[in-house]
Amino acid sequence: MSVRTRILERIRTALADRPALQLPDVPEPAEVAWEEAYQNFAQRLEGSGAEVVRFGSPQEARGWLSEFAKSFHRAWVSPRVPERLRPDLPEAEPEVAELGVSYAQAAVAETGSVVLASREGRRGQLLVPTQLVWVEAEVLYPSLLAALRAVKGEGGAALGLHSGPSKSADIGQITVKGVHGPGRLVVGVLAFARDTTDRSSAPRDPVQRHDGELKAFRDKLKKLALEGRTLETREGKAFSVRKLSETGKTVYLELGNGAKESLPTAYLEAAVSWILTLHGRHQVGPSELGQAVASQLGLKSSVKASYLWGILHALGYV
Amino acid sequence: MRVALFVTCLVDQFFAQAGVASVRLLRSLGVDVEFPRGQTCCGQPAFNAGHWDEARAMALHTLEVFEGYDYVVLPSGSCASMLRVHYPELFKGRGPASRKAMALSARTYELSQFIVRVLGVEELGQGLAGRRLAYHYGCHALRELGVEDEPVRLLKNAGAEIVPWAEDRECCGFGGLFSVKMPVVSVAMADRKLDGLPEAEALVSTDAGCLMHLVGRMARRGIGVPVRHLAELLWEARQGQGAGQTEGMRHA
Amino acid sequence: MPERIKDFPRASASLIEDHPEVREAVYRATLHFDQNRAKAYAEVPVEAWRDYARDVKAHLLSRLADYLEKAEARLKENGAEVLWADGPEDAHRILAEIVERHGVRRVVKAKSMLTEELGVNAFLEARGLEVYETDLGEFIIQLAKEPPSHIVGPAIHKSLDQVRRLFHEHLGTPTDAEPEALAKAARAFLRERFLTAELGISGANFLVAETGTIALVENEGNIRLTTSVPRVHVAFVGIEKLLPRFDDLAVFLQLLARAATGQPIGTFVSLIQGPKKDDPDGPEALYVVLVDNGRTAALADDEAWEVLRCIRCGACLNVCPVYRQVGGHPYGFVYSGPIGEILAPHFLGVEGAYPLYNASTLCGACGEVCPVRIPIPKLILTWRHRAVDSGLTAPAEPQLIRAYTETMRRPAAYRLASKALRLLPSALASERLPVVRAWTRYRAGLTPSPRPFHELWEELEDERKNANP
Ligand code: SF4
């Protein structure tokens, strides 16, 4: 009999007269708005000795990066890092690089963690003395549970959660940093809607599903169709939602000039999900919105962004 | 309401005045407390050392002695916990004894717990005004019975100041037979606790076992702080200033 | 091992009397851990989490065979090779084959209590391999040739000065080097080993059955390196380490860190999903060894199986007043403190583990902090009871307890004994009784109250009658 069979048999015998016990549901953490999530994230990370920098625009991030890069000579940069976020430094192997730059698969506010994918290369995340990790606003999850759900099965053979610089208190209970992994962790949070045209080098990142909120959104949409209110695009063009298709999958519009248009509900839902993931980042224009939807759904064609924006604006999402 | 005092063997033998104080205190609160004559020991020392048959024999005796009372009150946290927590386990699946154990468990209270939770009394008097006391939270009272702030609340409400003591919730190292099976570890624990003992007029607890251990170690180390049972102080609280200097625990 | 266990009373006493510096180091470290834990617990809905964690583990154990099969299937799908070990011999045979197959000469190890159980280091070294513990604490005790004294902080018993001396001897650092410099020296030394070792050996904190994910938690980054850099990774996983769902990691990772060190989460968490696939680096081969080593026997124990819920956080050690005086070494077993007391008898039998489970006052502090709510004091009592049933106690003890019981069952006998106590006041100081001797050697003898309470009762009755005539 194989060891495997023996062990399994012993277990089955041991459990023969014992009832299977109930598996409890996983505790669902409370939803947290993006700004609060960011605060938690920064506070936790700083609490464990990391540095957190927040950027309101791509220019700001870029400017900071060129300053930051000055104190290093060579860097290892993850292939996942988009062009605009790569330091202007000669690239080097992780064994000799002074700086490693990673692009987070996800980030966790609750625990102050960045989630790094092995697809980037793990040595570059571990052997460098200083690590810079970019976090896009939309991959910052309020809870560990939400982040784990988003990255489940993603990222390659292994994921690493980094929640601060490497440390140890094994020598006389005195904390020292940089024992094996990076002794300095800098996290750059890109707290602006992503420039979705620059996605070439970055794989698609997860946008959270907000099923409860989406249901509410569909109800609001139905109501809008019933009321037949006049809506406006940001450019001031009037239009209205005429009706929803039988299946609810298409929204039919009537434009000011009497022309007819249609819009897949999926576009609207993708836009809502994206907005909610950004938690309170309502200041988006039609083109940004359109790009986000297109990139999320993998579309190349137009998503009729101006009407999309008009509807979401009327319902208070933007 | 029929209330029985289970004075416990340790208080009976070594803290007799705490028993006296318990009776006077309860009477002063309108409780006509009875003292069932057949009572001896709850069986805890045997139980904790793993001698469950013997523990059961003593527990059966105790179940009999305290049958028919509405409440059984003990001036001892760990003995109360023996009745309350461990009797039902000891007699699990043993028919009538199990039912009796459950019934007794539900009626069992440590003294301060009985005063606060059953009698609803939190103000005993002002007899401890200006007294500075160190309080030791006995482990079983604290963790098994959930007696946490009752004793301290009663003392404070009577005007006593409870001096801060970082180790006030640490185990004193007694542990029944543990104290003689592993005496060096046992006193090391007591010493840890006592090293941080702040200046106080008395060291107080509701557990005779702990007090016995601490008093023995303090005497050996020449620490002069008197050790007093909670019951005595609560009776002083009731009486008013200066009255009722009770004897406390003595040592050789 | 059992021989050393038997020695606990003497070893613990001599540690206290002869090594005050160890007692001091352990006390400070554990107090610090425990204070951090208390703070960290207070920040989250910890009671609900503990209920949940207890129930998840209880459920898992109640369906363990199914979950193991599921985990095995997922691991294989992920490209790992799964092996099973009953105990050390199987584990050694498996390792020998892997070493052979991959031409391994150098091994880096991540801290793993299970590999301590299995004697992995000694086995590999005996075969002429170089084995390096890479956790700084483990590295220190490897240099000192000692076993770990704590499941989370293996070197907490070592003072800074002791580490300085060790590093001076082995790494050539100055005798007054600061902790940073010492850490740097260890880093440089081990970095070279990481980059040249062919094999990385780790344990596992969790193995998710749903996805075949191995979760490892640490603060230094050495586990990430051990499992990322060498070409081959072997993970030893105790069969009780499973979790049913990937989502379960969310609470377990946080609860473990909060219980162990008071952190919101371990600084580094590795979620390993298989050997390298389309990744630029990482091990080419992953072996997962599922180990029993006494666990199925524990599972079969209707009264004491709950110990298998343990997630090895060390919180019970940190809060244990006995452990705090003596640290882990006097226990003479891989696991020390409260968890050691209730694990040892499963591994070594009630006799082999005697008298570890007597090393407790039953103060209950461990049960109060355990993140998976193992009723540790209750299990200690269970083993004590079994020890008595197996006749393991000193012969005088049952006699003494029987005599005591006979006295206490008869009120008349009790009264008589009470009188005798006062007639022979020296009884309690009689050095002839070993029990008394053990008491009076360290504490003042006891004097009974002049009259026992039961003799004062009549007077109290009179007092009452006089008050209400
Ligand atoms: S028994 Fe509980 S407290 Fe102790 S190590 Fe295991 S999980 Fe942690």
- pLDDT tens figures, B230-252: 999 999 999 974 444 444 444 43
- Whether the predicted pLDDT of C469 surpasses 80: no
Residues contacting C206, CB < 8 A, separation 6+: C213, C214, C215, C241, C242, C243, C248, C249, C252, C253, C311
Instruction: Please report whether residue B188 resides in a domain.
Output: yes
Q: Place A215 in a pLDDT band, splitting at 50, 70 and 90.
A: confident
Q: Decide if C30 touches B, using CB distance below 8 A.
A: no
**Residue type, position C372, single letter:** V
Residue B126 lies in a domain: no
Instruction: Flag whether C460 is in a domain.
Output: yes
Weakest mean pLDDT among A186-190, A314-318, B27-31, C341-345: A314-318
Rounded percentage of chain C residues whose pLDDT exceeds 70: 97
Domain count, chain B: 2
Note whether A228 and A174 are same-domain residues. Answer: no
Average pLDDT over residues C23-36: 96
* A3 domain-assigned: no
Q: Is the CB of C310 under 6 A from ligand 1?
A: yes
Residues A91 and A121 occupy one common structural domain:
yes
Question: Is the domain of C179 the same as that of C285?
Answer: yes
Question: Among the three residues C393, C422, C453, which one is the final residue of a domain in this structure?
Answer: C393
Q: Are strands C213-218 and C268-272 parallel, antiparallel or unpaired?
A: antiparallel
Contact C363, C325 (CB under 8 A): no
Query: Does C152 map to a domain?
Result: yes
In CATH, what number is assigned to the domain containing residue C381? Answer: 1.10.1060.10
Over its C-alpha atoms, chain B yields an Rg (Å, rounded) of 17
Compare all CA atoms of chain A with the CA of C286 and give the residue at the minimum distance: A157
A232 and A103 within one domain: no
Its pTM stands at 0.87
**Is pLDDT above 60 for C285?**
yes
Based on the fold, state whether residues B8 and B111 are members of the same structural domain.
yes
The answer, yes or no, to whether residue A242 has pLDDT greater than 90, is: no
All residue ranges of chain B with pLDDT < 70 are 241-252
Asked whether residue A136 is domain-assigned, the answer is yes
On whether both A119 and A222 belong to a single domain, the answer is no
pLDDT single digits (tens) C121-149: 999 999 999 999 999 999 999 999 999 99
**Per-residue pLDDT at C428:** 62
* Residue A153 identity: G
A70 plus A162 within the same structural domain: yes
Average of per-residue pLDDT across C11-39:
96
Q: Does residue A222 sit in the same domain as residue A303?
A: yes
Q: What is the mean pLDDT of residues A133-138?
A: 96
Establish if A218 belongs to a structural domain: yes
pLDDT in tens, A139-179: 999 999 999 999 999 889 999 999 999 999 999 889 999 99
Confidence (pLDDT) at B252: 35
> In chain B, what's the furthest Cα-to-Cα distance?
53
What per-residue confidence (pLDDT) applies to C427? 60
Angstrom distance (rounded) from CA C344 to CA A243:
71
Tell whether A143 and A231 lie within a shared domain: no
Q: Which amino acid is at C423?
A: L
Whether A241 and A253 have beta carbons less than 8 Å apart is answered as: yes
> Does A174 share its domain with A95?
yes
pLDDT of residue A117: 97
Q: What is the pLDDT of residue A237?
A: 86
Interval C185-207 mean pLDDT: 97
Domain co-membership, C63 together with C81 = yes
Q: ipTM of this model?
A: 0.94
Distance CA B148, CA C84 (A): 49
Distance, in angstroms, between C204 CA and closest chain A CA?
14
- Work out the mean pLDDT of chain C and round it to a whole number: 95
Same domain, C96 and C240: yes
Question: Is residue B13 located within the same domain as residue B65?
Answer: yes
**Chain A neighbors of C265, CB-CB under 8 A:** 111-113, 144, 161, 163
* pLDDT for the residue B104: 98
Predicted local confidence at residue A236, as pLDDT: 82
Contact between chain B and chain A (3 or more Cβ pairs less than 8 Å apart): no
pLDDT, tens only, A64-99: 999 999 999 999 999 999 999 999 999 999 999 999
- The number of folded domains in chain A is 2
| pLDDT, average across residues A217-223 | 84
CATH number at residue A69: 3.40.50.10420
Contact list in B for residue C389 (CB cut-off 8 A) is: 50
Residues A146 and A224 in one domain: no
Q: Which residue of A has its CA nearest to C222?
A: A180
Residue nearest to atom 6 of ligand 1 (CA): C310
Range of the domain at A184: 34-190
pLDDT at residue A301 in the model: 58
Whether residue C326 is found in the same domain as residue C258: no
The pLDDT assigned to B251 comes to: 40
Domain identity same for A177 and A252: no
Q: Are residues A165 and A215 in the same domain?
A: no
- The pLDDT confidence band at residue A309, using thresholds 50, 70 and 90, is confident
Predicted pLDDT at A224: 83
A129 and A40, same structural domain?
yes
Q: State the pLDDT confidence band at C429, using cuts at 50, 70 and 90.
A: low
- Return the structure tokens found at C233: 């990774």
Domain boundary pick from A155, A190, A225 = A190
The amino acid sitting at B194 is L
CATH number of the structural domain spanning residue B226? 3.40.50
| Omega within 30 of 0 (cis) for the link into A182 | no
Q: Which of B96, B118, B140 is the last residue of a domain?
A: B118
Phi/psi at C442 (nearest 5 deg)? -115, -10
Q: Which of C393, C410, C435 is the last residue of a domain?
A: C393
Task: Answer yes or no: are the C-beta atoms of A160 and C216 closer than 8 Å.
Answer: no
Is the backbone of residue C221 left (phi > 0), alpha (psi -120 to 50) or beta?
left
CA-proximal residue: ligand 1, atom 8 (nearest): C313
Domain range spanning residue C441?
400-467
The parent domain of residue B178 ranges over: 132-239
**A26 within a domain of the structure (yes/no):** no
Within-domain flag for C25: no
Range of weakest confidence among C197-201, C424-428, C463-467: C424-428
